[in-house]
Structure 1
Amino acid sequence: MSRPFKRTYTRKGEDAGADKEARPERADRPFEKFDKANIVRRGAASKAAAAEKVNTNDVAAPAQTGKIRLNKFIANSGVCSRREADELITMGLISVNGKTITELGYKVNPTDEVRHESKVLRAEKPVYILMNKPKGFLTTTADPQERNTVMHIIGAKVKERIYPVGRLDRNTTGLLLLTNDGDLADKLMHPSYNVKKIYKVELDKPLTKNDAQAILDGVKLEEGRAMVDDLAIVSEDRKTIGLEIHIGWNRVVRRIFESLEYQVVKLDRSVYAGLNKKDLSRGDWRFLTKEELILLKHFK
């Protein structure tokens, strides 16, 4: 994996014979190079570079050849989530080929007739959307207080039941993936896949060399030691930081800096799982390209 920026500091003992003093920051390095970083697997970058943008909503779903769990079939139809599907099953509201099913874990063939009460359910086409989330929007499908969510940005332009993959807090901006592909969403959110994220962080005061090294060494939070993958000072006043991280703890980037008595003034995610937002204005969204989808499908 090519590195999106050169590390400003090194972990202790990383380079044999290295000076113990922290390396001087690269204040002359423009941040937009970092912001346009695209973390991809070897060989994928050249393919993605020539990608022609297409609406992947028009790409047919792969043929299903084996049985799948009933709750997955229901979720794929756009009725509800898998957890909610389990509730419908236990309530006796789902039938398969005319027979009411209440067994969790029941599997169906793609050709079976599945009904929710009297409505026949059919699997939706898979949809994959990339959004440059603006500030002030919740990363959820609905809000009891009727505040703006990212679904208000999509509006009625997508008929399928999509939802955000992971979360960005209300005041965080940047790259967000939305889909109705539950398997892909589960994989990207699972800690074992170590999905890389890159953030641009603007602080209320300059980051000291000691604190920068402390972050690289891993600051201790409630869940344990928060390890980051890379850090770079990207402004002359040392208030703008580039941070590469893979852990997905709640508000982890803000909490890392808050633990060292810094306030995060602005937080923007520029890279997620090899995808970037270089062609997306704030508040805009688009469907993934075929090449981007292949990259995600083969993500390991």
Structure 2
Amino acid sequence: MIRRLLPLLLFLLLPLTAQAASDARMQIEILADDEKGQTVEYLHSNIRSVADLALPQLWQRIVLQAERGKIPSNTKAVLFLQRATPVENGVSVTFNQRRVLSFLKKNDIAHIPEQPNWILSVQLTNASGRSMPESAAMLQEYAAETASAWGYGLEGGSESLVLHWRWLDSRQITLSVRGTSRLGELSETRTVTTGDPFRQLKPWLSEIMLQARDAYASNATPAETAQAPVLATENTADPHKAFLTLTIERQASLPEQVLFEEELRRDPRILDLSLKQVNRDGQQYRLQLRGADDQWLAHWFKRRGLTLSPTIEGWVAR
């Protein structure tokens, strides 16, 4: 009887004065599951097994999916264990952050050193231009529910992440990402099946949240470091009020064209944008920047799948 209780006694005598993990991702609850034979008594008396159950959840939170294959198969969870504490229906495991990150660096495994934390805003607009607050609220709630499992936070952050889905028609949807997160800005259009907007967009939301999280990885390239080419401008006496000729060589429907114009015009670095002409090859615009810096434009178009190049007539995005 004493032998059976010894692991539990040692478990309960672990120093509770130890400082709690500063990173919430390091703390994982393993709850009893009778179908798997994991009773509360079993969990309380098998701390090594509990740590082994918790470790894959830790990797899911902090290691990029493409990098998990690099984790040695013989890695022992107990090496990272800082504390194990009983909870109502299981065990709360806390891993040592310093040991975990040191292990990942030593093995050259790309990871997210610190938990990203954003102020998230989800917006939906139907093809008629009306907002869809109920579906947006459901997606926002889903993002909050999955935050812990995927290692990001949505409380107390200082960076913003704005996700705006717009229906172009019954099947085509455009996502516009804005904000101050390291993900930067991007835009994407997809074709989806008809049906409940929440079910349509839930996988897409999960994908973009992971993409935003992975932008903070140890091997990630900062969003704004891309070098833009020096681009031609129309002659003007004041460089801060330069007018630029911009040609978009891409076939686009009228709704797509309008969305593109709205997105570019909404950028605070744009002073004015006006459509000059439309032909079968694309559209031509007259663009005025709010300052002399134009290096960000090439990166802006690159994130939307277009390459911006200087020509004799001005700029061309293909």
What is the TM-score normalised by the length of structure 1? 0.23
Of structures 1 and 2, the one scoring higher in RCO (CA 8 A, sep 6+) is 1
Largest Rg, 1 or 2:
2
Which has the larger helix fraction?
A: 2
